[in-house]
Structure 1
Amino acid sequence: MNNQYQLTATIVLYKNKPEEPEKAVRSFLNTNLKVRIYLVDNSPTDELKSLATLDERGEYIFMNSNNGFGAGHNVILRCPEKMGKYHLVLNPDIHFEAGVLERLYNYMEANPDVGNVLPKVVYPNGALQYLCKLLPTPMDWIGRMFIPLPWVQKRINDNFEMRFADYDREMNVPFLSGCFMFLRKSVVEEVGVFDEGIFMYGEDTDLNRRIHRKYRTMYYPEVTVTHAFEKGSHKNWRLFLIHVKAAVYYLNKWGWLFDKERREINRKAIAAYTSL
């Protein structure tokens, strides 16, 4: 086991404006933990390499190709010797205050049956992001992309995003967003890395589901991070097609209508967390 780092992180870059990932990098490095951050750049040029000079704890890896979100993170997830006891999959559009990482680290230390933990995530204006989700059905993923009726989308989202639950309490969630995955290294070694058959959108669903089979995957609202999230696939035709392709791949892998495990996992989550 690598005892050099308590926590490592990867940020996958792709033609980002430097000021956004710089905030994420500075947030991560603002800690007393022994850390290292890997900046995996899928961009066509290495213009973002200066981000690694912010601190000696940063390392820049230029891929010279864009093989996808999961593949970028796998550059480190496939190398246990580069990872700390815990590893954070971090989006470049996230920032947070000092102390967040320490509290999540201590939470994982106190709960060895937890494989992944997600804090409360808010928009820059402070509004809550509903990132605790059930395992998706075909309607959850594909239906809401192709049915533009607001009342239909609201009905799907209210259930899929577990809006029936109390987001101020801890929950063991089937699908936690991939924007901030605080992972236990030993669990990654056991269940595997991101499925690179998914270029983007859904690779987090797949990995969290594999972890959830054997460990708790927890939402922990005692700490908060800010996510400047934009639904790119709702605005960009290319990203929309990538989203559809990812949904089809995931459903082919796990099951469309006949997914008994999904049905049982979702039933338990609804029963456990429906607010009374």
Structure 2
Amino acid sequence: MNKTVELTISLVIYRPLLEQLNGTLQSLVKCLDYSKVSFHLYIIDNTPIGEDSGVNEEYLSQFLDYSVYSYFRNEKNVGFGKAHNAALNVDSNYHLVLNPDLILSEETITQAIDFMTNNQNCGLITPHVIWSDGNVQRLCKKYPSVFILLLRGFAPDCIKKIFKKKLEDYEMVKEIGCHSVYLNPPMVSGCFMFFRTSIWKKCQGFDERYFLYFEDFDLSIRVKKFCDIAYVPNIKIIHHGGFAARKGIKHIWLFFNSMTLFFKIHHWRWF
């Protein structure tokens, strides 16, 4: 894909749940049709060679014409950030980092571009997100402490209740609402990151030292050296993911490994 397009999108998959991926692609296509932007979608498959991810040219042809996407298959899982960085040298005005477990509202792309057009200092947008059960997912966070990360990720509900105010403070419950734009939250989630491509490139994408988890927090810190980050509540997404502690020992190890790396690179905060 050599010509300049208005929007590029990177979508990384790893042993995808096809029902969720179907929903993501269907909503993305509706969203792109509604916006009428020129686009190119990069699908990077981290499912190791020898395993069937269920994704191939025939599968993708259900959703997209072959001319508007590129599909890459890595020999092994190279990690979330490194896979997205395969779309680092794109030629576009905007770049969207997208998870394969999201449902986008029809107006998502149009609203994101409109906001960027009207707010030239903004280089990254994060949306208003709800879980599939309708509860709000808090994508904006304050700089974390070791205590709050362990409490939020691994403590039983009875312990979380004791520290409810501390958790709400970390998740910016009082600051972030569903009606008002909020500028420059300290950290935002990597499940949906709508960039000016110039900022995406200037930051050199994700730090590939993070295999999984905390690469989005790290990138948030680096983005703010160049531009504003905006939480834009009229951009609405449904998200099915999260919950590292429920995914088994390997994910817990990855979480702790990335957490340690994050604090070493930036600064430790224990409480």
Q: Which residue of 2 aligns with 1:33?
A: 37
Q: Is the 8 A contact 1:9 1:36 kept in 2?
A: yes
CA offsets 1:118-171 (integer angstroms, 9 cap, x no match): 111111232211111112222232454465422355344211111122412111
Partner of residue 55, structure 2: 48
Say what the alpha-carbon RMSD is for the aligned residues.
2.0
Percent identity, please. 27
How many residues align? The count is 254
> Aligned equivalents of 1:101 and 1:223: distance in 2?
8
Structure 1 residues without counterparts, runs of 5 or longer: 259-276
Please state if 1:167 is matched with 2:171: no
Alignment of 1:49-88 (within 5 A): 49=56, 50-53=58-61, 54-56=63-65, 57-77=68-88, 79-81=89-91, 84-88=92-96
**CA separation in 1, counterparts of 2:202 and 2:242?**
33
Distance 2:90 2:100 in 1: 22
The gaps in structure 2 that reach 5 residues or longer are none
Instruction: State the Cα deviation string for residues 245-275 of structure 1 (Å, max 9, x = none).
Output: 10000000001149xxxxxxxxxxxxxxxxx
Residues 202-221 of structure 1 aligned to structure 2 (within 5 Å): 202-221=214-233
Give the direction of change, closer, same or farther, for the CA distance of 1:153–1:146 in structure 2 (3 Å limit): farther
Q: TM-score, with normalisation over the residues of structure 1?
A: 0.85
Q: Aligned AA for 2:25?
A: V
Aligned equivalents of 1:155, 1:117: Cα separation in 2: 27
* Number of the residue aligned with 1:240: 252
Distance 1:64 1:152, change over 3 A: farther
Instruction: Say if 1:41 and 1:64, in contact at 8 Å, map to a contact too.
Output: no
Judging changes above 3 Å, is the alpha-carbon distance between structure 1 residues 118 and 196 closer, same or farther for their aligned structure 2 residues? Answer: same
Alignment partners' CA distance in 2, 1:151 and 1:111:
39
Q: What is the Cα deviation at residue 96 of structure 1?
A: 1.8
After TM superposition, the structure 1 stretch with the greater mean CA deviation from structure 2, 137-146 or 89-98, is 137-146
